[in-house]
Structure formats: structure tokens, C-alpha cells
A and B are shown apart, each in its own frame.
Chain A
């Protein structure tokens, strides 16, 4: 589904990604871990098409199409979803109206008519229940006045509504207490199918207790330096990122 080949990217002249290669297939969950500043969030933003980042070389293929040629909204309509690390507040724009606009844009792209109001509301009800999103939040302005946990749940709610092929969860666990973490993970697991794929970007192993990855990649200095099964995450948790640094240091010396 997603194939990233030797991707190099920078922001304001500062190199962040130094040759990422990654393949994600339908039905898989990939975790990307790494210390602060290793380029995790950059990778997520680059996949979504944030314009500040400059792609210097390499390719990102999504269902064999070059993603970097598409505008952010076109990527979204093709089925790329980014759950933001810091969901943006948009004052005055109701969550529901926002979602309806997004959903109908996607449907238009697929050649479908806008969803009827009744059907839409039923869908909202069903998906909101998945992440136990309070009714009031649905009608409030997008993310405005939401607590940290509510914002993250709102991201998963939107993901459920838009039903993406590829979901990239950027530090979705940050700022979540254990209950909220369970709710979010439950949402993600429920949405998982053989047709879609998920990339979980995280600093801590904690989230991976609930969303079990098929692969764990360790990002360091803009490069994937280690790939393994879910046990790698546990090992990281135990030994810390210094372990990776040391190991790398040894490699370089050797």
C-alpha cells in the first residue's frame, strides 16, 4: 500500500529525513519509534503533505501512485489520514459541519452524491460511540476548548468517519491518561481491517500494549536504524534509546 524509497526531506534548509525506506501493506500495523528529534513527526507530516517540508529526493508511493505529486487534500481523499499530534483548533467551525464537508468532498472525489443528512447523523452516532465522544463535543467548534484527551479522541472519531486506507497516528498517546488511551486504542483496533493499514508514531512503548504492531521501526537521525517485531518495542522500553545509540556507535566503529 505504502512504499517509501530512500526519502530525504528538510525544513528551512535543515535536513531531517536522511533516506527512509519503508513498506507498509494492507492489514498491517507499523510502529515508528525513536527519541525526540529523530524525525518521527516529520515523516508523518511529509506523508500528509505539509508544505513547509521539502522533499529532496526519494519517493513515496501510495497504491503505486506518487504521493508527493498530490496536494494534501487530494492525498486525504485518496485515503491518507493523519491524526495530528497537536490537533488544530478552528474557532466557530462546528465539528459536525467540518466533518460533513470533509466527508462529502471525499464522496465527490469517489463520484458519490453527498450523504443524506439522516444517514450522516446515524454514522456520526455510531462512530462517536466507538471513542465515547460526548454529544456536546460533536457540536462544539473543532477542537476548541477540548481537553487533550478529547482532542485525541476527536481525531480517532474523524478517522472512523472518513474511513481511510492508511492512517498515520502521530504521537496519539501523548497527553492521554490510561482510560483515554484504552478508548483510543479500542477505536483504532476496531477500525482495523484487511484492507487498511496503520502507522503508529510514538515515543513510548505504552500505546503498543493496546495497539499491537506487526512491525516496529526505530528512527534515529532521520533514518530507520532497526526493524523488528513487537518485542523490539519492549526491549527499547527496557534499555532506553541510549541503547540504540550505543549499538549504532559500535556499528560505526566496527
Chain B
């Protein structure tokens, strides 16, 4: 790999949050608070059809009757849902015809994030749907994808242009009643991404979205829906950053993946929302519901590298409904300072010969708490189902915690379920070996941690893998001593 640690040092002049800048653009932000009127306003601003407003209002009713979950191994001050602004769209003068028309300030932000659209367009062949706060500002490669019949657009556009697909699939994997935050999202989501791959089409490029919380005091409630029709394939990348803000910001997204017969979806996330400072002040609350449904012979693979957020609560899951379907979950979660993460997956084996693999690598440093929570359920009819889970935790300080909470439920005698977990300190002999070869401690830890996480990093597309490696090192800087 072209990447070396020296490149990293070059880029990082300080240990501060790299993306901690805010963009000063005029923002169309509605006043704080959440009532039915807020929802009507969001729906109106987005020019939505009645059925969607009805859906939102129903979700709002469901949400009001629910309580914020408390079972996760995290402690935080619950957000005040009336103190959040539920809509912030960068103000734009007119509908954009091409990238050149995008607000220069916004373009600068993108460039700082390293995802300059034309660069991407020219060099890497990545189609980027850039979501800043809640509205998708620019979508590239649409035309090229269009030739193949692939739809890749903002959720809002999809509601306007492909209402049948949205109606059919939205909420089919994550119903609005699923949990507190999914219900909230269903009521107030502002935008997100939609992707549809037609039958038998292999999407020729990585589809990519960057999410970014920019406005202070806004919650990000985006929704992603990916539908891979029979025999199709796509790889979807999601990157998240948030600038430095003092108050905690809420991010409650819903991601639904549908892989129809023989289809495959690869969904990769690199998440580095602002984690708060070294005193535990600020940072993003990341309460996300991600789930995929596999029909016959389908495959869904989740890969995530999580280094950010003050509190994370996230379990990308697979419902293995169709026979022979496959679910995978590869995760690296790093917590430092006062971060708390409770993350893992659910693999629900319903169909025959279904297979799942879980590889989870937790790394805790500072005073952080890092938990793996997972469910493997083998249903009565899941003949010959197989699961293998490996959950490792690496501890880097004597004041952090690493926890493992797997649930294994097996109702079929032909199934095989294997779960292994280890928790240990970073190897002192490994560090000394590196030191003896002239590599300093910080670098040695970077090497060892990246090696430890390699099994997961290898699953990421190349562009992401390099970024992820750097992120691991950035988030652990200064954690040794």
C-alpha cells in the first residue's frame, strides 16, 4: 500500500480534530422544537406528497408513546428533543444545474474533507452524493449511472421521482415502530440517499455519500435506502464527519438495505463524527439503526470503522430470510478519552443454509467504554445454518473498559454456531520488538493496532482503507503513556 506513516505525520500538524472547522454559509434553519407542526413544515419545505406526510405523522405518534432505550452500556444526558432544530438546509439561490454552481464556501468544505467532486469525478470514479446537514447538495455521475438504469439520488428526489419504489421499500426492513430513534427518524428525516440497482446490473463504481453535521444544534436525521434487485451488485460507501461543537449533537439515521434474490450489497462506513474533547465535553450522539434484508442467495456485508462520536449505539444487522443467504459484519471500533460505544450486530438466520460471519475488533483507550453487543439467532427452520463470531478487545489504558455481550440463540440442531472472544492488553513484547528496530512507541502502536484491525480494514474499498488506517492512528494519538 502506498500509504506510509510519514505521510500521516505530514498531514497532521496537530492532534486536534482534523475536520473541526465550520462552514459559514447562510443556512435555512427552522426554529427549534418538535410538534406535529414541525413535521408538517419539514414535509412542506420538501414539497412532499400526502402519503409521506401521513407516514411521518404516524411515526411521530408512535415515537411519542415510546421511551428512550436504556439497555445499552452507555451513560449520557438524554437529548432534549425540544431543543433541537429539525431542519437545516444550506440556502441556495436556485436549483443547481452543475457542480460549478455550488456555493464556493460549500465547495471549500468539500475540498477540506478531501472529497472535491471534480477530483473524485476525474480520478477515482466514485459517485458522491454529498449530504451537508440534511439536504443533498450535489450528486455526480448520475448520468453515467442512469445509462445502466441505476438510480442514485437524494432521498428527497427519489420521493419526487420514484415514489413507487420508496413506498414499496421504505420502512420494510426498519419499521417505524422498531425503536425509539427509528421512530423519531421516520417522523423527522430530512434527507438522505436512495439507490436502486436494476436486475442483473453490476454497479461499476463505488457509490459514496458523505454526511456532515454542520449547523450547531441541529440533529441529523438522514435515511438511506438501498435496493439491489435480483442478481445485482453494488458497493456503497458512507463517510461521516462533524465539526467541533460544544453541545452534543444528535445523529439518528436509518439505513435500510434490501438484497433481492442473488443480489449482493457491500456497505462500508467510516465514521469520525466529533468525539468530544479530552474532558468529555461535546461530541455527537450517534444512535443509528442499520439493517439489511437478504432474500434467496443474497449477500449483505457490513464493514465499519468507527472512531468518532461521544456516544455510539449502532448494530448493523442482517435478516437472512432467503435460503443460502449470507450476512457479514466486520467492525473496528476505537474509543478514546470519554467516548462510549455500544456496537455490534444481529444476525437473524431464518432461511436454510444461511451463513454469517462476525469479526469485531474493539480498541479502548483513555477513560472510554467500548462494548460489543451482538445477537445470533438461529430459527427453527434454518437448517444447516452457520455462524462464526470473533470479538476481540484491545485495552490501552488502565482506566478504560472493554465489554462483550453476545447473545446466542439456537433453535436448530443442524446449525453450528461458534463464538470466540478475547480481551487483552496491547502486547508489550510487540512494542519492544518494534522499539528495538528503531520504531518509536507511538508509531509502534499505530502499526500494531492497524495490524490487529487488518482483517476488517482489508474488507474496505482501497480509498477508504487508507483513510481508515489514518483515522485509527489519529484517534489513538496521545493515548499511550
| A–B complex contacts, Cβ < 8 Å, 22 sampled | A49-B436, A71-B435, A73-B441, A84-B433, A84-B436, A90-B430, A90-B433, A91-B451, A91-B452, A92-B451, A93-B448, A93-B451, A98-B434, A98-B439, A98-B447, A99-B437, A101-B4, A102-B434, A104-B4, A105-B439, A114-B6, A158-B437
Within 8 A of B (CB), among A99-124: 99-102, 104-106, 109, 114
Which residues on the B side are within 8 Å of A76 (C-beta)?
A: 435-438
Within 8 A of A (CB), among B397-427: 427
Interface size class for chain B?
A: 20 to 34
Within the complex, what minimum Cβ distance (angstroms) separates B118 from chain A?
29
Within 8 A of B (CB), among A120-145: 141-142
Within the complex, what minimum Cβ distance (angstroms) separates A103 from chain B?
8
Within the complex, what minimum Cβ distance (angstroms) separates B168 from chain A?
43
Is B359's beta carbon under 8 Å from chain A?
A: no
Is A252's beta carbon under 8 Å from chain B?
A: no
Is A87's beta carbon under 8 Å from chain B?
A: yes
A72 contacts B4, C-beta separation under 8 Å: no
B440 contacts A90, C-beta separation under 8 Å: no
B450 contacts A100, C-beta separation under 8 Å: no
B451 interface neighbour in A75, A81, A90, Cβ under 8 Å: A90
B427 contacts A88, C-beta separation under 8 Å: yes
Which residues on the B side are within 8 Å of A142 (C-beta)?
A: 433, 451
B438 interface neighbour in A50, A87, A90, A105, Cβ under 8 Å: A105
Interface size in chain A (residues, C-beta < 8 A): 35
Which residues on the A side are within 8 Å of B5 (C-beta)?
A: 101
Whether A162 touches B450, Cβ cut-off 8 Å, given contacts A88-B429, A90-B433, is: no
Within the complex, what minimum Cβ distance (angstroms) separates A130 from chain B?
18
B436 contacts A48, C-beta separation under 8 Å: yes
Within the complex, what minimum Cβ distance (angstroms) separates B61 from chain A?
49
| CB-nearest residue of chain A to B452 | A92
- Interface residues of B, Cβ cutoff 8 Å to A: 1, 4-6, 427, 429-430, 432-441, 443, 447-448, 450-455
Is A219's beta carbon under 8 Å from chain B?
A: no
Whether A162 touches B438, Cβ cut-off 8 Å, given contacts A90-B451, A101-B443, is: yes
Q: CA–CA, A101 to B430, complex, Å?
A: 15
- Interface residues of A, Cβ cutoff 8 Å to B: 48-51, 71-73, 75-77, 81-82, 84, 87-93, 97-102, 104-106, 109, 114, 141-142, 158, 162
Whether A102 touches B4, Cβ cut-off 8 Å, given contacts A90-B433, A92-B453, A93-B448, is: no
| CB-nearest residue of chain B to A48 | B436
Q: CA–CA, A137 to B436, complex, Å?
A: 21
A88 contacts B433, C-beta separation under 8 Å: yes
Q: CA–CA, A72 to B440, complex, Å?
A: 9
Within the complex, what minimum Cβ distance (angstroms) separates A124 from chain B?
15
Q: CA–CA, A92 to B435, complex, Å?
A: 18
Which residues on the A side are within 8 Å of B6 (C-beta)?
A: 104, 114
18 other A-B residue contacts (CB within 8 Å) besides A49-B435, A90-B433 = A51-B432, A71-B435, A73-B435, A76-B436, A77-B438, A84-B436, A90-B434, A90-B451, A92-B451, A93-B450, A99-B437, A101-B4, A101-B5, A101-B443, A102-B434, A105-B438, A158-B437, A162-B438
A72 contacts B435, C-beta separation under 8 Å: yes
Q: CA–CA, A104 to B10, complex, Å?
A: 15
A87 contacts B436, C-beta separation under 8 Å: no
Closest 10 A/B residue pairs (Cβ): A92-B451, A92-B454, A93-B451, A76-B438, A72-B435, A102-B437, A88-B433, A73-B435, A77-B438, A105-B438
Whether A72 touches B451, Cβ cut-off 8 Å, given contacts A88-B427, A98-B437, is: no
| CB-nearest residue of chain A to B441 | A73
Whether A72 touches B447, Cβ cut-off 8 Å, given contacts A90-B430, A104-B6, is: no
Q: CA–CA, A109 to B430, complex, Å?
A: 22
Whether A87 touches B448, Cβ cut-off 8 Å, given contacts A92-B453, A101-B439, A104-B4, is: no
Which residues on the A side are within 8 Å of B439 (C-beta)?
A: 73, 98, 101-102, 105
Within the complex, what minimum Cβ distance (angstroms) separates A102 from chain B?
4
| CB-nearest residue of chain B to A75 | B436
Within the complex, what minimum Cβ distance (angstroms) separates B359 from chain A?
12
Within the complex, what minimum Cβ distance (angstroms) separates A145 from chain B?
13
Q: CA–CA, A156 to B436, complex, Å?
A: 14
Which residues on the A side are within 8 Å of B427 (C-beta)?
A: 88, 90
Which residues on the A side are within 8 Å of B437 (C-beta)?
A: 73, 76, 98-99, 102, 158, 162
| CB-nearest residue of chain A to B7 | A114
B451 contacts A109, C-beta separation under 8 Å: no
B433 contacts A87, C-beta separation under 8 Å: yes
A90 interface neighbour in B441, B448, B453, B455, Cβ under 8 Å: B448
Within the complex, what minimum Cβ distance (angstroms) separates B444 from chain A?
8
A100 contacts B4, C-beta separation under 8 Å: yes
Which residues on the B side are within 8 Å of A88 (C-beta)?
A: 427, 429-430, 432-433
Most chain B CB inside 10 Å of its own CB: which residue of A51, A77, A82, A102? A102
Q: CA–CA, A159 to B4, complex, Å?
A: 21
Which residues on the A side are within 8 Å of B448 (C-beta)?
A: 90, 93
Which residues on the B side are within 8 Å of A93 (C-beta)?
A: 447-448, 450-451, 454
Q: CA–CA, A99 to B4, complex, Å?
A: 12
Within the complex, what minimum Cβ distance (angstroms) separates B3 from chain A?
9
Which residues on the A side are within 8 Å of B436 (C-beta)?
A: 48-49, 72-73, 75-76, 81-82, 84
